[in-house]
Structure 1
Amino acid sequence: MKAFISHSSKDKIFASQIAAEIGDLRCEYDEYTFDFTLNSAAIRKALARSSLFVILLSENSVRSTFINEEIRAALEARSAGRIKDVLIFSIDGTSYSSLPSWLKGINVAQHLRSPKQISRRIDATLMELSLKEGVISDFYFGRDGEELNFRQALAKPKASSPIAVHVVGNHGVGRKTFLRKSLGSVAPRNYAAFIEIPLDEYESITELYRKLYDVWEIYNPLTAGEAFLAFKDLSDSDKIKEVSKYIRQLAEADTLPVFVDDGGVFQDDGDYHPHFPLIFNELSDIARPTLSFIQARMMRHALKQRYPRSFHIRIPSLSDETVYQLLCLKLKELDIDFTEAEVRKACEFTDGHPYNINLVVSFIAADGFDVFLANPSDVIEIKSQRGHDFMKRIQFSTLEADIVAVLHEYRYCDLEFLLAALEVDANLLTESVRKLEDFCCIERKDRMITLSPPIRDAVRRDKRFGRADDWLGSVGQRIVAAIKEYEASESLSISFLDSAIPEILRSGSGVGFVSALILPSHFLRVGRDYYDKGNFRRSIEFCQKALEGDAQLSMDAKIEASRLLGLAITRLDPDDLRVNGILDKLRAYGTNTSKRVGFFIEGFRARRKGKYDVAEEKFRLASQLDKENYHINRELSSVLCRLGRFAEAEPFARAAYNRSPDNPYILDVLVESLEGMAQQGLKVNSKEIFELNSDLEAICTAGGFLFHKVRNSRRLYGQSKQVEAISILANLISGDEVSLEAYFRRAQMYVRSHDLKRARTDIAKIRTMGDSETDAFRYADELEVDCLIAENRFVEAKNEIGMRFGGASGIEKRLYRSLVNAIAYAPAGVPQWLKDWSKQYR
């Protein structure tokens, strides 16, 4: 892929700097041939070697005979299909009114003054063109039943024909292809183009407006900032009209916006966010679909009845015969030989999903049929949402892992953003992006790249993609530096800025023209990132800033900011009174979601205080409002395990596991419940426990987690292998990371072995962790009571329980049971009143 750089000889210093940045192999730039001789043949040969035509627009070039000749030759190359794209850069503010109409019609002049900025944009465009080449053809086999239903809906009278189309199905089942092909065949003139626009969770009408503005308007950060500030001041009804205006203009240009729903269309209760029905009403005079949604979640039937101008269609899996034909065609396109038996066998692993078909083809192309059929586990694992098992079988180069790390950190990035963030050769970056795309690790949504949904959680927990703070800081500095290269009047996409703003907020770097583009949702995103990384103080800071602008947040975003704020404060200090104010605010919101989140925070707070009975009550109330929520199910299971009620804990742990089978924390609590049941003599599947422990160890090893080793030590101790158990914990304690859990469990083992001297040494160490670990003092106090009971100091133990754990019912009951049992088997010398109390308690 090459770029032909068309420029005036008077701008050759500027053009040569661009050529030097891009490199000789990626551009056609010959100042001697084109400056001093009008060599039409040379121009045409150079254009024949190029895919991208770049014009440096200036006062010099608009009057240049040479430039006019190059434009004429480029027109021929474009007509022949050799020139795939055109970029026009205004390097001195010159109007492009003098350009030929075909150039005006396919592009707009981008005002940039820096050779480095221009070269990066050229590199990104060359990458896009390169990635489009060599892609397996998008074969389409009609879905007769669904297409018939769709055509019938489109044929209805205007009053009931759909304005909004929702195409629903599992990831990779072919939803976007169905939409394009179906509308393209029914009304090709009305749907000449489809523009994908991602809608993230917690985004409001403000973000929707910005994304439509980005698609439609010619702008720079200065004009965009002015437009966004003006939108902020509009009334709610005028905001609806402004958003509807852009959708209407897109429809008039025969373009359909395809909103890829990542949580930004429906509220938590399954209904639309409030602005969407109002937009539909504003567009009610239009008799055909003007906006569409790609979703995994179907609206409930009762809710659908409220919106007659919305059409919802589910895309099922492909039939076995269609899968067979599709797989054959894709393999033939790659010149891969096959037998019918081989293809039939490979079809078994696709589940009728085009996504899985492409994945199967990629593995067959890489390894051959024999290797794939001998071990098809890669496809099996990603189908069952076991992203970790899928990812661990792929060998990633350093650059590929870096790309994944950047996409994990910044979520959606365009190619220009990646070039700025990683500062690597564009050809190497293209190759790496292509490989990641071939193996379904990333997806492209028009200009944007993001991680594939099935592997996002696995990436978060895989240490291959973890990067040190220094590395992330360097990436952030490069991104901020790239932003600072621009002036407010120069061309810079909103998508680039939206990806960069969180880093600008984190670093505290001042970029003047960016301030008008910052939204409360940006603060929320940073706050959530800090929470996930365990930096709770910074999470509190940014969530508070997000809530200061709550008028621009959706209801779900307000609830999420409050949730993070409440949990972060509770993690630092469960007695902090600020949590009460957060709970009051959640109650005032009055939605089922806000009630559920409020109960969850109350349960979490009680658990942190050791009040397990209260925690159970609150988590059960939260569960009644969302039985499928795996966070609630995990916490409820964990509390029940702590109370020793393992059989009750197991169904909740399993429900969480079914939703997220490679989450190590969920695996851990499921194993704990099953092992606890086994210790209580209840029937369990020992093979399943072994396999779950193996999975837990593999996931924890990949992610750099340590708690599976604590679990192994506890299992060994239960098998009377005390030396081996304590040795595992000793190795953990001597490592780089200080583990409160390891110290706590080792001290417990010392107490049970009556090695109280070592136990108290660990207790003293646990108390020193109190500043950073809020559970440390409670753990130390609990262990101290265990020591007193082991020493037959029963009166002191009873007093300590009442003083330290009064109201912390779960711990209090466990310690009292231990005390009562010890008194029952104690030698002479126990006061009579204490014996009487013990009998009464029993």
Structure 2
Amino acid sequence: MVNFSAEQFLRHLKENSSLTPSMQTILQLLSSFSPLPLQVIVDYCARTPLDASDDLNFLLDLAFILPAGMHYRISEPIRDAAYRAFGRLKVDSKKVSKLLEAYLENEPDDDSRLDLGQTIFRASLFAGSQTKSRFAVGFAADLIDVAARSYHDQDYGLAITYGSSALSARPDNVDVRRYVAQALIRKEKYDEAEEHISALLGLGELKEAYYVRGFAARRKRNYLEAVDAYNKSLANGRRGVAIHRELASCFFELGNLPAAEEHILQAEQQSPHNRYVVDLRCTIALRLGDLPNAERALEVLERVDSSGFAEHRRSTFEQASGNADKAIRNARLADQKITHPPFEVLANLANCEIEAGGSESALATLGRIRNRFGGTNHDVQVGLRCKYEIRFGDVEAAEGLWNRLSDKSTPVHRGLRLSMLNRKYSQNGLTSEEKVERNNLINFQSTEELDRSLRLICSMMSQSE
């Protein structure tokens, strides 16, 4: 309740311009790194000391920030809300680290150095610095904090690196082991994740072990196995929104809509404005073609999620509605607003560019996806490139890509195959086998449904994915 109320209050102040851009930068900075001395805040924000003091005084009057000895820190009740609203990956950690290093070089007070030691330690970690500052004072708690924040910021490489370091010092820490395991799963390093699941079982943390095992199974699209693991997690005492959201997603994929609805309702009862739950409801409505319910969920999402993901979901809604221009405009807004766009945002952008006929821009986005995410989400990447070749390239290349798909039975991939056969039919005709295959595809699912699935390729991934 505190976090939700604080986030709404911050958004209200931001929208009515009570918080100026410079004040937002200060909150962004201190939500990521506290405490900080005035000089570092001034230099980071490129403000004069007088202007920065005016901003700080306003924020002090609101109790958004507090004095911490000779320095300033963010108020704990709004720390997480301010981080979500203004911080996340937008802070230049390397710049913070360098400014603190320069400040501490000329700081004679030992207590002040010690006070800032943990801050520069965390800033160096987030910056990926290979050289540790001589002023840094790091504890296992700092490593755990960096690992957890990196995971939530979707920087899974950092979460694995620093989470593993934290586990060296605190091997019994359940939370950080779960974050590391889930980060490995998102990197599709399932064997390494299983080692952490086994460790959780060995610690007797059955609810967490089965939850992570279910997460791995869902990511591998083994939905029955995932449901079994999640139910074991529930039986061992796991509670909260996340497990009901996960079960809802699995039951939907299995075609069990009543069970999916039951778990969404349980999640909504616990947290009616949880952005992941709202997004899942919107995603399911879109996949069912229920645009009125999708729009109602989207309106809620736009109120509760200021991260940029609402623009992404608006893009997928417009694509489902057949508004290609609005879809690509919102996809680009999401790409600009989210500092490090997750896979699903870039995948949707590439799809929108293909739909809009942007051959060069789509190819550039596909390159961004490959360079950043490597071979993860294999079928999504291959499917996108297949669609690109069908629209702009060589049908033989598209067929070669389609044959590389792990699961050719999904509606999207059947739609790709039909589109490919239609193009071959218009160019050189089909073999007798291909004619039979084309008729079977049309009989299995209507041409309209297959076309809709193809148009929405990569657009139906929820935030939980």
- Shorter-chain TM range is 0.5 to 0.7
Structure 2 equivalent of residue 418 of structure 1: 37
Task: Name the amino acid aligned to 1:403.
Answer: I
- What does the per-residue CA deviation read over 1:720-758, in whole Å, with 9 as the maximum and x for residues that have no partner? x3544555477569979888546755787899x9x9x98
- Partner secondary structure for residue 577 of structure 1: helix
Matches within 5 A, 1:400-799: 400-410=23-33, 412-413=34-35, 417-423=36-42, 432-442=55-65, 449-453=73-77, 455-463=78-86, 465=87, 468=90, 470=92, 472-485=93-106, 490-492=110-112, 494-506=114-126, 507-508=129-130, 510-512=132-134, 517-550=137-170, 555=172, 558-572=173-187, 574-575=188-189, 577-591=191-205, 595-625=206-236, 628-642=239-253, 648-657=259-268, 664-676=275-287, 679=290, 686=292, 690-697=295-302, 702-703=306-307, 705=308, 707-719=309-321, 721-724=322-325, 727-728=328-329, 741=344, 744-745=347-348, 766=366, 769-773=369-373, 774-782=375-383
Q: Distance in 2 between matches of 1:504 and 1:601?
A: 30
1:547 deviation in Å? 1.6
1:408 deviation in Å? 0.9
Conserved 8 A contact 1:657-1:666: yes
Structure 1 equivalent of residue 406 of structure 2: 805
- What does the per-residue CA deviation read over 1:700-727, in whole Å, with 9 as the maximum and x for residues that have no partner? 5x43x2x4344334434444x3544555
Unaligned runs of 5+ in 1: 1-169, 173-380, 681-685
Q: Give the greater-gyration-radius structure (CA).
A: 1
1:590 deviation in Å? 0.9
Higher strand share: 1
Which of 11, 20, 37 does residue 397 from structure 1 map onto?
A: 20
Conserved 8 A contact 1:543-1:561: yes
1:779 deviation in Å? 0.8
Q: Distance in 2 between matches of 1:767 and 1:539?
A: 24
Task: Name the amino acid aligned to 2:217.
Answer: A
Task: Name the amino acid aligned to 1:441.
Answer: F
Structure 1 equivalent of residue 449 of structure 2: none
Conserved 8 A contact 2:32-2:88: no
Q: TM-score scaled to structure 2, two decimals?
A: 0.67
Q: TM-score scaled to structure 1, two decimals?
A: 0.41
Q: Distance in 2 between matches of 1:734 and 1:627?
A: 35
1:409 deviation in Å? 0.8
Higher helix share: 2
Task: Name the amino acid aligned to 2:180.
Answer: L
Structure 2 equivalent of residue 218 of structure 1: none
User: How many residues are aligned here?
Assistant: 421
Conserved 8 A contact 1:747-1:760: no
Unaligned runs of 5+ in 2: 420-424, 446-465
Conserved 8 A contact 2:97-2:123: yes
Conserved 8 A contact 2:181-2:193: yes
Task: Name the amino acid aligned to 1:397.
Answer: T
* C-alpha RMSD of the superposition: 5.2
- What does the per-residue CA deviation read over 1:376-417, in whole Å, with 9 as the maximum and x for residues that have no partner? xxxxx828x74554443562135532431232112x53xxx3
Pair 800,560 (structure 1): closer, same or farther in 2 beyond 3 Å: same
Q: Distance in 1 between matches of 2:56 and 2:353?
A: 53
Conserved 8 A contact 2:353-2:362: no
Identity, % of aligned positions: 16
Task: Name the amino acid aligned to 2:122.
Answer: P
Pair 677,749 (structure 1): closer, same or farther in 2 beyond 3 Å: same
Q: Distance in 1 between matches of 2:368 and 2:22?
A: 41
- Partner secondary structure for residue 372 of structure 2: coil
Pair 418,629 (structure 1): closer, same or farther in 2 beyond 3 Å: farther
- Partner secondary structure for residue 74 of structure 2: strand
Structure 1 equivalent of residue 422 of structure 2: none
Q: Distance in 2 between matches of 1:513 and 1:730?
A: 43
- What does the per-residue CA deviation read over 1:226-258, in whole Å, with 9 as the maximum and x for residues that have no partner? xxxxxxxxxxxxxxxxxxxxxxxxxxxxxxxxx
Pair 724,740 (structure 1): closer, same or farther in 2 beyond 3 Å: same
Task: Name the amino acid aligned to 1:770.
Answer: R
Conserved 8 A contact 1:616-1:639: yes
1:691 deviation in Å? 4.9
Task: Name the amino acid aligned to 1:712.
Answer: R
Task: Name the amino acid aligned to 2:40.
Answer: A
